[in-house]
Amino acid sequence: MTLDRIDIALLAALSDDARASHVELAERVGLSSTAVARRQKQLEDQGIITGYQAALGLRKLGFTTTVSVRITLDSQSEAALDAFEKAVKRCTSVVHCLLMSGSDDYLLTVLARDIEDFERIHKTQLSMLPRVARIQSSFALREVVDRGAPPAVIERLRKEGP
């Protein structure tokens, strides 16, 4: 996997507007639309582009509460980790889950409509996850920066190279 400056420019353009046509992308990166289509397909085939998503206005959809949840399991055995991970993948309120180093085993991001909704999620989903010894929750007061992964990754690629 070697990316050149055109690939990086194409990734940046798609990160800005994943619905852009090949003609629009071609204008932005300085290639023909056929060449853009070919490169985009190659990036997909290589697993660099893994999908296309719409950015949602979560507050407009009624999800006003973002909660960071730190989970500590009663064991760090492979069986315990596997059981937890299998179960947490079924929790629709969990939008992000990371296996962590340090004192907490997992860091989850949960979206809720409000505090009462999070209490329900805590009782019916989080506290029911297997092998959980401790749950600690922190509520976001407001969002300060949301650059998202793609812009940050593209900026590093531009500065440091592929």
Domain with CATH 1.10.10.10 in the chain: 5-54
pLDDT for position 150: 60
pLDDT of 53 higher than 90: no
Domain with CATH 3.30.70.920 in the chain: 65-139
Q: pTM of the prediction? A: 0.81
Report the topology of domain 65-139: Alpha-Beta Plaits (3.30.70)
**pLDDT, tens digit, 9 for 90 and up, residues 67-91:** 999 999 999 999 999 999 999 999 9
| Phi, psi angle pair for 39, to nearest 5° | -65, -40
Helix or strand holding residue 65 (H, E): strand 65-73
**Span 135-144, mean pLDDT?**
96
Mapped to the 3 state alphabet, what secondary structure does 79-131 carry?
HHHHHHHHHHCCCCCEEEEEECCCCCCEEEEEEECCHHHHHHHHHHCHHHCCC
Report the topology of domain 5-54: Arc Repressor Mutant, subunit A (1.10.10)
pLDDT for position 94: 94
pLDDT for position 40: 98
Interior angle at CA 10, CA 161 and CA 39, nearest 5: 100
pLDDT of 138 higher than 90: yes
When computed from its CA atoms, the radius of gyration of the chain, rounded to whole angstroms, is: 20
